[in-house]
Structure 1
């Protein structure tokens, strides 16, 4: 029996779909010069007055996320994820809560970190991420609201009010 199960025992297709979702990560791992990137998963729903985007960005601080409009109807969410973890110093147990070293791993520090630690499983996405959302109707860019809570980025993009017809009088 394996220490870590990688696939559920049922006839579930979730692992296949995850492989397809992470294709770019697997392809990038072949070349050493490729920048690691991933696409966070989002739920997008429409209400009568707005579009609601809820994305999974666990462990990514707010300052590492940028939200901007690339054109009047296209919202871009991008940023960077780094792997952070704490390890107890030699001779101390994790339960003692003594001094701990925080190690950050980014693309530039991977070789240094791999020499210090032995990963049994590395499933967390690190690197740069980028998602683009194009809306079919005009949106009100000035009233967009975003919040990050418990690793979920919630963005509300209000629809622009329909332009009202204006009657022009002839002089």
Structure 2
């Protein structure tokens, strides 16, 4: 007597019910834009997250012989919407990127709007009374002169007695 052979059908489970068909895209990265858009919508739906101050700026700090020069990209920010504060060695920028009025339907928004702040700690002593700042073409440029005692200088080496 021969025993029955149980055959496995990959489209059916053990009870014989049809399994759902899994579709895999040919491009594994095809859905990332859709995932990013959905996550962005989810984060914006929390509402209060949009009101939290943010601080992501491209910042360059250059040290010259007599000053530190700080450049911060602030595209679309008016001079009246920026506040610059100095405390010992820390430079802090506060402000707001205002959302402009639109006439059409906004389909995608990746530029940030709202309040921002950013702090930069400079590596040396600064003469706080002589700090200057300008905002041109979306770049805030701050020149922070070094304190007189903090400037580097070359020291002349002279010959001395007893050197062999």
Global fold match (TM > 0.5): yes
Q: Which runs of 5+ in 1 are unaligned?
A: 1-18, 20-24, 88-116, 164-171
- Max Rg structure: 2
The answer to whether the Cα contact below 8 Å between 1:50 and 1:158 also exists between their aligned partners in 2 is yes
The answer to whether the Cα contact below 8 Å between 1:73 and 1:137 also exists between their aligned partners in 2 is yes
Q: Which runs of 5+ in 2 are unaligned?
A: 1-35, 151-164
1:27 Cα shift? 9.5
Cross-structure match for 2:69: 52
Of 120, 128, 131, 1:141 maps to 128
TM-score (norm 2): 0.59
Q: Distance in 1 between matches of 2:93 and 2:80?
A: 13
Aligned counterparts, 1:21-170, within 5 A? 29=44, 31-34=46-49, 35-39=51-55, 40-69=57-86, 71-85=87-101, 87=103, 117-162=104-149
Q: Distance in 2 between matches of 1:148 and 1:26?
A: 33
The answer to whether the Cα contact below 8 Å between 1:36 and 1:126 also exists between their aligned partners in 2 is no
Tell me the alpha carbon deviations over residues 79-124 of structure 1, each in whole angstroms, 9 at most, x when there is no partner.
111121454xxxxxxxxxxxxxxxxxxxxxxxxxxxxx52122121
CA change 1:125–1:66 in 2 (3 A) is same
1:58 Cα shift? 1.2
Tell me the alpha carbon deviations over residues 136-170 of structure 1, each in whole angstroms, 9 at most, x when there is no partner.
2110111111001111111111111107xxxxxxx
1:33 Cα shift? 2.0
Q: Distance in 2 between matches of 1:137 and 1:64?
A: 28
CA change 1:133–1:32 in 2 (3 A) is same
Count of paired positions: 110
CA change 1:75–1:61 in 2 (3 A) is same
Instruction: Provide runs of 4+ in structure 1 moved above 4 Å.
Output: 25-28
3-state secondary structure, aligned to 1:162: helix
3-state secondary structure, aligned to 1:38: coil
3-state secondary structure, aligned to 2:75: coil
